[in-house]
Structure 1
Amino acid sequence: MKTKSALSYFGADGAVADDLAVMLDHCSHVTIPFVGGASILPRLKARAIVANDLHGLVIHFYQTLAGHFGDIERRRLIERCFTTISHPREIETAMVAVDSDIAHVRAWGFWALCWIGRKGKGGTRSAGGKPSVRFSPQGGTNATRLMSAAAALDEWAKEFQRCEFTNLDFRELLPKIRDDAKCGIYADPPWVGAGRNYLHSFGEIDHRDLSEQLRRFNEATVVVRYGDDPFIRSLYEGWTVIEAEARDQCNAMKGEIWITNWV
Structure 2
Amino acid sequence: MASHANAAPVIIKRKKVVGGDGHHGGAWKVAYADFVTAMMAFFMLMWLLNATTEKQRKGIADYFSPTVAISRVSGGGDGAFGGESVFSEVVLPQNGTGATNLRPTESKQARGEIGDDAGLDAQDKALREMEAALMGRGGESMMSTDLQRHIITRLTDEGLIVELFDTPDATLFEADSDRPTVLLVELSKMMVRVFGLVTNDVAVDGHTRAYPVVLKDNPVWTLSAARADRMRRLLQDAGMHFDRVKRVTGHADKEMAVDDPSSERNNRLEVILLREGL
**TM-score over 0.5 (shorter chain):** no
Q: What TM-score, normalized to structure 1? A: 0.31
Q: Report which of the two structures shows the higher radius of gyration computed on alpha carbons.
A: 2
Q: What TM-score, normalized to structure 2? A: 0.30
